[in-house]
Amino acid sequence: MQRFGRPMVAAMHRRAPAAYAASEIRHLLARGGCPICRAGQEAIERYLFWFFHEFYSEPSVILRYVRSRGFCPRHLTLIGERGPQWQLTAIFSWIIADILRALDAPAPPLRSRFQQLRRHVSAGDALTRVLQPDGLCLLCEVEEEAASHTALMLLDVLEYDEDVRDRYAASGGCCLPHVHRVARAAGRHHEQAIATIHRVLRDRLASLEHLCNEFFRKADYRFAHEPKGEEREAWRQALQLFGYHGRATAVFDQAPARRAEGERS
């Protein structure tokens, strides 16, 4: 009976994903860009609303952002732009109080000869210990959770839903870091899903490679008269493929000295 144990149970539960999963993936694909990045952004939006209304003062949440010593630079920018004055003051007052207490606390006794010797070569040890984040930034955790959940949902839906496979291909698919993440989450039964993700990534990379080549070809004086096209956006498309979500603008539109000769560097 053992050989019909857990694998058989798993196979019996392996079925077409629930309708809500397919509709969620359709919704994310319709918004454009990487569906997993979108899911993360939507989760952050929902969380931020409740965070600034209620969660920020719940002891378990305070403990998390105090232990992580605040937020990562990306989410610090976000809460700085979105946070109300009262809540931001409260959040940082708790973090500051904890850091001050830790800075003023007496250093733990050195237990071994090795530690005593090490003390002389690591003057920054105590300060490092106080400022070392313990755990992920709270908002990184929210994104992380949404990404894990969406990666699995995407795999299941792509495996069974041809229409979603077409939509995924038309949208350009996931950014490169999230393709990596989805690939790591895939099981043996996600062959069709992975084949689709692989093909879409390959097509997108090949298309970008072509755009980059076009960009440099048209920089050559012999072809400079040709009308400029999508190749001017190659750098922006590349940033997006590699997971960039900022508002980059091309500030380097002047030809470097050697660009007139069609060279890349």
C-beta of 37 vs 197, nearer to Zn ion = 37
Distance from C-alpha of 59 to C-alpha of 62, rounded to nearest angstrom: 5
Residue selected from 62, 140, 194, 212 as contacting Zn ion according to rule CB under 5 A: 140
75 is an interface residue for Zn ion by CB under 5 A:
yes
Residue selected from 175, 186, 197, 211 as contacting Zn ion according to rule CB under 5 A: 175
243: left (phi over 0), alpha (psi -120 to 50) or beta: left
178 is an interface residue for Zn ion by CB under 5 A:
yes
72 is an interface residue for Zn ion by CB under 5 A:
yes
For the record, the structure tokens of 104 come out as 């003023």
44 is an interface residue for Zn ion by CB under 5 A:
no
Q: Kindly state the smallest distance separating residue 142's Cβ from Zn ion, in Å.
A: 9
Q: Kindly state the smallest distance separating residue 14's Cβ from Zn ion, in Å.
A: 26
3-class secondary-structure state, position 235: helix
176 is an interface residue for Zn ion by CB under 5 A:
no
Instruction: Kindly state the DSSP code that residue 172 receives in the 8-state scheme.
Output: T
3-class secondary-structure state, position 231: helix
239 is an interface residue for Zn ion by CB under 5 A:
no
Angle between the 138-160 and 35-53 helix axes, to the nearest 10 degrees? 140
For the record, the structure tokens of 175 come out as 């950014």
Using CB under 5 A as the binding rule, the residues of this chain from 20 to 39 that contact Zn ion are 34, 36-37
Q: Which stretch binds Zn ion (CB under 5 A): 120-128, 133-141, 186-194, 198-206?
A: 133-141
Kindly report the number of other CB atoms within 10 A of residue 62's CB atom.
Answer: 17
Number of residues counted as binding Zn ion (CB under 5 A): 10
Distance from C-alpha of 243 to C-alpha of 224, rounded to nearest angstrom: 31
Footprint of Zn ion (CB under 5 A): 34, 36-37, 72, 75, 137, 139-140, 175, 178
